[in-house]
Amino acid sequence: MTRMACSLLEGALVSAPFARSMRALSVDRARFPHCAIASAVVLLGAWLAWLFGAKVSVYEVSDVSRLETERAAHSIDALASGRIEVFDLTLNQEVEKGDVLVVLDSEAEERRLYEERTRLATLSPQIGALERVLSAYERSLADDRAATAVAVRGGKAKHDEAETSARLAREEALRAQKLQESGAISEAEAKRAAARADETRAAAEARALEADLESRALRTRESQGIARIEDLRRELATLEGSRSTSLAIIAELEHEIERRTIRAPVAGRVEDVAIRTAGAWVKEGEKLGVIVPSGALRVVAEFPPHTSVGRVRAGQTARVRLDGYPWTQYGAIGARVVSVASEPRQGRVRIELDVTAEPSGRIPLQHGMTGTTEIEVDAASPATLVLRATGQLLERPRTPEAKASLPTGGAS
């Protein structure tokens, strides 16, 4: 009896705490669904607030980007084919505008230039002498023309004088004949008067012929002078044409020799050099190096038209991550859009940006560095971005296979 009572008492003592624990667990199980529902509502509200109220930056990205100087780099090209005599180009070399960098062999051109200059030197004295002879003939022709004019006037005056004398003698012979007929003078005197009239008439005709011959001789001399002057002028024109040809050949040869002397087009630093040595042969148009002028750096990026046209504008901010410098370690370069091309070129739109900040200060920015450019084009809520992505997905052109699977025929 005693042992059974002890067992009952011990069972009663153990069952009391167990019952309380079971009641506590029942209360906790009833409270847990309410807390879970409240937490879910709070999280859902926060997510909806973020989905519709938050602003997320929208970026357009181009992995075709590089740093360039504001002034375009200049390529050093061979302007003619030839053998290199002097090659004074090294990487990172500082040059000034007009410095001689490469000299090509121009021995053949210089030999021809010497020959043409010698030929020109002999032509100039010939032309000078011929010009003096021509000038003398022109003066002689002018004198002959003046003498001809004087001779013509003199012959006319003598002819007029002879005509006057002949007319007077004829009148005197007529008077003498009348006087002889009236018996005032003898027949002999009348005949003498008629003979004088015939003599003066013959003298007048002779004087006219003499004046005509003299005039013809002077005109013939004038014509010969004109012909000689024309010959001299043709000869002079030939010599002057030869001189002009020589001058043109000399100018062309000098230009050709100058083309074989390659000078620095701008002041700057040599960033690229072809491996060439004296004696090597180069072809016309072959690239020998690149000179990058000093100046501020800018970012040049190329974007597809559908992501940039109408979306990227001057003043928008951007960031550039350079290849070879992990952005997680060095950060990104700040930039700002300054110009956007209006026409695509080879399927890309050129966009230029100014460098505004280099956060780490450990990147040695140089012309030619490549990277990725991200331009902030918009700020929208996540819900807007989801709807935009859905619309773009639905508007995406169908593939040829999908188009082939569509049913044909009219709409029902």
pLDDT at 251: 93
The model's pTM is 0.51
User: In the 8-state DSSP scheme, what is residue 315?
Assistant: T
The C-alpha atoms of residue 336 and residue 397 are separated, in whole angstroms, by 34
Rounded to 10 deg, the angle between the 107-182 and 187-259 helix axes is: 170
Is 332 exposed, middle or buried, given 0-12, 13-18 or 19+ CB atoms closer than 10 A?
Answer: buried
Each residue of 240-299: pLDDT tens digit?
999 999 999 999 999 999 989 989 988 888 888 888 788 889 888 888 888 888 878 889
pLDDT at 248: 93
Going from the N-terminus, what domains does the chain have, and what CATH number goes with each? 57-70+295-394 (2.40.30.170), 75-105+261-287 (2.40.50.100), 107-259 (1.10.287)
What tokens were used for 371? 């990277």
CB 142 within 8 A of CB 167: no
Of 5-19, 40-54, 83-97, 142-156, the range with the lowest mean pLDDT is: 5-19
Written as one letter, the residue type at 257 is I
The C-alpha atoms of residue 271 and residue 290 are separated, in whole angstroms, by 6
The C-alpha atoms of residue 268 and residue 71 are separated, in whole angstroms, by 10
The C-alpha atoms of residue 322 and residue 371 are separated, in whole angstroms, by 4
Q: Which residues contact 23 (CB under 8 A, 6 or more apart)?
A: none
Written as one letter, the residue type at 379 is A
Q: Please check the confidence at residue 405 and state whether its pLDDT lies above 70.
A: no
Per DSSP, the residues of 341-359 read -SS-BTTBEEEEEEEEE-S
Phi-psi region of 279 (alpha: psi -120 to 50; beta: other; left: phi over 0): left
Beta bridge partners of 321: 372
Average confidence (pLDDT) over 320-325: 88
CB 353 within 8 A of CB 299: yes
The C-alpha atoms of residue 367 and residue 355 are separated, in whole angstroms, by 12
Confidence of residue 411 (pLDDT cuts 50, 70, 90): very low
Confidence of residue 13 (pLDDT cuts 50, 70, 90): very low
The C-alpha atoms of residue 240 and residue 313 are separated, in whole angstroms, by 64
State the CB neighbour count (10 A cutoff) for residue 369. Answer: 20
Side-chain half-sphere of 46: how many Cα atoms within 13 Å? 6
Most confident of 112-116, 126-130, 204-208, 384-388: 112-116
List the end-to-end C-alpha distance of the chain, in Å, as a whole number: 97
Written as one letter, the residue type at 179 is L
Across 257-332, the runs of DSSP E, i.e. the strands, are 261-263, 268-273, 281-282, 287-292, 297-303, 317-322
CB 103 within 8 A of CB 230: no
